[in-house]
Chains A and B, each alone.
Chain A
């Protein structure tokens, strides 16, 4: 975080000196969208971290209650077709959701930034090959890349996370590349070259910290996209497999019981939507806090 706020302060100083007065995180937390996003993330992290302690039942143990019990004090979110406690399933599901977001975005971000930074730094034929390749992959769209990966690796939650992560690489690479090109053309970069910095130092100590703010926005919004994509794969049966309490796959299982137990379909759907909305709003808030010129928009 230290280098992030450092970079942000420099940036603000250059453009709008007045915003320096409030700290970056404070600006995020004070905007309505940012506050909502942070609250959603906090609830998710809390329920994922303490699912073992807080969840009243096991997420996969059948028959802890009667089948299809509507929400009641004993089972706040009701029970499903196997008499499993929905609240417990949802809490353990939040763990999977965060894991999906973290792993998929981790893959996209690491590979994407590496490609983007190297292409922007090396230029020439390396840049051409990397960025043309990225363009080609980009035109396939993420859904198709993810589907192709699952087709090869076989349906499972781990494979879905990898597939979604790989599918995101082109977008991250493109964004990082254009941000790095801007940094590269600034006088400080030439000065660093003149001072005799080697390629490693130039890329990782000078380009990387400066593209990081942009990439943090992309990654936050990317968590939303990754969660949606992985839930979609699980919904189709190509991701998480029963009895894993993954929200998308729970939704798919609930289809057959909509008339009998509508809450089975409503609860996971709302959970996915609120989580995705939270990360979307948080990403927007971070973007606005980083670039005050955007506020007007």
Chain B
């Protein structure tokens, strides 16, 4: 188990290393002069000031020095300052990150609560009209753009019925964005669960369990569900990453004050330090969550635990 987790942690470290390199290079890939582009919107910046900004950002240094300087600052928790408002990027991100993680987790709960039972039931009824019907619903669900679903839910539940707040950040405000994001992913969870459960139902040990006269309920819960959940759990890391990605769009619909909304605003404003910080934070969160889930996976699956 430690070898397995060790490998995962090494892979995660590699991912974060690559991200730091990519993020340093990012500003150099911008066509034209990034400093001029960044400050194009603020009037009356003199060439001397631009030169100073370039020095402050370290852009006059050779690229490997820039990289080392960036990582050095990073290790001290310094992600630089925002172009607009000159606030520490780390603070700006840390203020919003909990909101995004809360949204992703809530959406994940919605996705699992709806997708898992549907997938399991469809697998149980495999080959019947019920199964086909559920899978048609699921594939339709995958196909509906979540930004559209979000708008429809918004207008129906918030504007027309007035049951839920239209936008903002708060405990009641999370319902609509979480349902929007969760519903689109419930369909994916349902499809995954179904095919994993069907694979398990075909295994010899399930036939043995049935043959020795165990009640169907016991076979399903103790043999099928437990074994069938393992691949579903491994996919959860990726699912969480999808949720974080989907949150970027959904946050913008519901004006949810998370890092996704911040990132889109930063792209419009060409606020590169914020974009760099966002990409790095996103990578770190996704890597940590997937390592955490791998640990859970190892605990659930004895084949890995004992290896």
User: Does the CB pair B267–A238 fall under 8 Å?
Assistant: yes
Given the known A-B contacts A132-B14, A140-B286, A269-B148, are A296 and B267 also in contact in the complex, defined by CB atoms under 8 Å?
Answer: no
Give the shortest distance, in Å, between B253 (CB) and chain A (any CB).
Answer: 8
For residue A15, CB closer than 8 A to chain B, the reply is no
**Residues of chain B in range 115-164 having any CB-CB distance to chain A below 8 Å:** 126-127, 139-140, 142-148, 151-152, 155, 159
CB-defined contacts of B245 to chain A, threshold 8 Å = 141-144
The proximity string for A residues 143-176 relative to B, scoring 1 for CB distances below 8 Å and 0 otherwise, is 1100110111111000000000000000000000
Q: Could you tell me if B147 and A147 are in contact, using CB atoms closer than 8 angstroms?
A: no
Q: What is the interface of chain A mostly: helix, strand, loop, or mixed?
A: helix
Taking the complex as formed, is A235 at the interface, i.e. its CB lies under 8 A from any CB of chain B?
Answer: yes
Quick check: B147 and A155 within 8 Å, CB to CB?
no
CB of B147 within 8 A of CB of A281, answer no
Q: Report which of A153, A154, A273 forms a contact with B143, defined as CB distance below 8 A.
A: A273
Flag if A277 contacts B143 (CB, 8 Å).
yes
Say yes or no: A235 contacts B143, CB within 8 Å. no
B307 to chain A, nearest CB (A): 21
Q: How far is the CA of A248 from the CA of B279 in the complex (A)?
A: 24
Judge whether B39 is part of the interface by a CB distance below 8 angstroms. no
Tell whether, in the assembled complex, residue B26 and residue A152 are in contact, meaning their CB atoms are under 8 Å apart: yes
Q: Number of contacting residues on A, CB 8 A?
A: 46
Q: Which chain A residues border B266 with CB–CB below 8 Å?
A: 151
* Chain B neighbourhood of A204, CB < 8 A: none
Q: Which B residues touch A143, using CB under 8 A? A: 242, 244-246, 248
Of the candidates A136, A228, A297, the one whose C-beta lies within 8 Å of that of B145 is A228
Collect the chain B residues with CB atoms within 8 Å of residue A259's CB: 159
By the criterion CB–CB under 8 Å, are A265 and B151 in contact?
yes
Q: Determine whether the beta carbon of B18 is less than 8 Å from that of A136.
A: yes
Chain A CB within 8 A of B82 CB: no
When distances are taken between beta carbons in the complex, the residues of chain A under 8 Å from B11 are: 135-136
Given contacts A135-B11, A235-B249, A237-B268, is CB(A141)–CB(B144) below 8 Å? no
User: A265 — which chain B residues lie within 8 A by C-beta?
Assistant: 148, 151-152, 155
Measured between beta carbons, the chain B residues less than 8 angstroms from A280 are 139, 142-143
Query: Is the C-beta of A50 less than 8 angstroms from some C-beta in chain B?
Result: no
1/0 contact string of B15-28 vs chain A (CB within 8 Å): 10011001000100
Distance between Cα atoms of A147 and B247 in the complex (Å): 13
CA distance A276 to B144 in the complex (A): 8
A251–B249 alpha-carbon span in the complex (Å): 13
Q: Would you call B264 and A140 a contact (CB within 8 A)?
A: no
When distances are taken between beta carbons in the complex, the residues of chain B under 8 Å from A276 are 142-145
Assess whether A232 is in contact with B249, with CB atoms less than 8 Å apart: yes
Question: Residue A236 at the B interface, CB < 8 A?
Answer: yes
CB neighbours of B127 from chain A (8 A): 296
B29 to chain A, nearest CB (A): 5
Residues of B near A255 (CB, < 8 A) are 151
- Asked if B195 lies at the interface with its beta carbon under 8 angstroms from chain A, I say yes
Mark interface residues in B182-201 (1 if CB within 8 Å of A CB, else 0).
00000000000001001000
Q: In the complex, are the beta carbons of B145 and A272 less than 8 A apart?
A: yes
The residue among A228, A236, A274 with the most chain B CB atoms within 10 A of its own CB is: A236
Identify the 7 closest CB pairs spanning chains A and B, nearest first. A143-B245, A277-B143, A269-B148, A276-B143, A141-B241, A273-B144, A141-B245
Other than A140-B283, A274-B143, give 9 A-B pairs with Cβ distance below 8 A. Answer: A140-B15, A140-B286, A151-B272, A152-B29, A232-B145, A236-B252, A273-B145, A276-B143, A277-B140
20 interchain pairs, CB-CB under 8 A: A133-B18, A136-B15, A139-B286, A140-B241, A143-B248, A148-B26, A148-B279, A150-B267, A151-B26, A151-B275, A155-B268, A232-B249, A236-B252, A251-B148, A258-B151, A265-B151, A269-B152, A274-B143, A280-B139, A284-B139
Q: Which residues of A contact B (CB under 8 A)?
A: 132-133, 135-136, 139-144, 147-148, 150-155, 224, 228, 231-232, 235-238, 248, 251-252, 255, 258-259, 262, 265, 268-269, 272-274, 276-277, 280-281, 284, 296-297
